[in-house]
Amino acid sequence: MVKNDLKVKIRRIWEWTFIGIIIFLVISFFLKSSYPITHHKFNLSDAYEVLKDTLTLAAGFLAPVAAFVLFSDWREQHNKQVRNEFGLKVFNQFEKFSKGIDQAGFIYTELDSLLPEEARDKGDPYRVRIGLDHSIFHKNKNLILSYFKQVHLIQEEFQTLIESFRYFGVVTNQLIDMKSWIDSTLEEFVNIHEEVETYSEFLQFLEKIVKELELYKNLRNQIELNLVKNILQQLQE
């Protein structure tokens, strides 16, 4: 697409140059031929002079115009390359953020598999309650800690993602338009952990994780819907 645009521009320059040469030749020969014959006789020498002047003017026209077109095309491609580089950084950072959420989901699946069937149904009056002093917490301490570490990693990836969005907005002159969306995204992110939920048993701990993951997935979907798709469209242009 880029090469084709440049070819079109070059072809148009040649077309206008050729038209200009024809017009200049016609006017020059007309003026030459309109001179009184007694004073000027139109001959090959006159034709050579006219042709030389025409080519000189054409060369003088082509040089700056071609330089301007090539420079404009280079600048346009350079700006597009810079924009695409920042767009790729945003997209790659979004993938890291997204994969972090998926990894937290995998950890949750492992934790959920530890819960016995007799402890799952909250409506069952005979449900076995697995408290904080149960061996499940002690034996799987590392797995539980890995979930908290993963949440912390997600938060770091999100902060980096927001900064990437801001840089992209500066580069593409869209920061003002993006500001309201970025602010609302930050507010939604803060709300995920604004209320610290306590738990006294393993089932409540799992419910807390489910709620957090659901909120993070909703946040991810909003980011993808509102901004990432726009960046992908620009990269595909």
In tens, the pLDDT along 108-131 reads: 999 999 999 998 888 888 888 898
pLDDT at 140: 93
Bigger pLDDT: 207 or 76?
207
pLDDT at 107: 96
| Separation CA 231–CA 225 (nearest Å) | 11
Is residue 71 pLDDT above 80, yes or no?
no
Bigger pLDDT: 31 or 203?
203
pLDDT at 2: 45
Over residues 141-152, mean pLDDT = 95
Three-state SS for 201? strand
pLDDT at 12: 64
pLDDT at 235: 62
pLDDT at 38: 45
What confidence tier does 199 reach under pLDDT thresholds 50, 70, 90? Answer: confident
Cβ atoms of 83 and 171 within 8 Å: the answer is yes
Q: Mean pLDDT, the chain, as a whole number?
A: 77
Over residues 212-234, mean pLDDT = 83
| Separation CA 82–CA 77 (nearest Å) | 9
Assigned token pair, 154: 């997600």
Is residue 169 pLDDT above 80, yes or no?
yes
| Separation CA 208–CA 169 (nearest Å) | 35
Report pTM.
Answer: 0.67
Cβ burial of 147 (10 Å; 0-12, 13-18, 19+) is buried
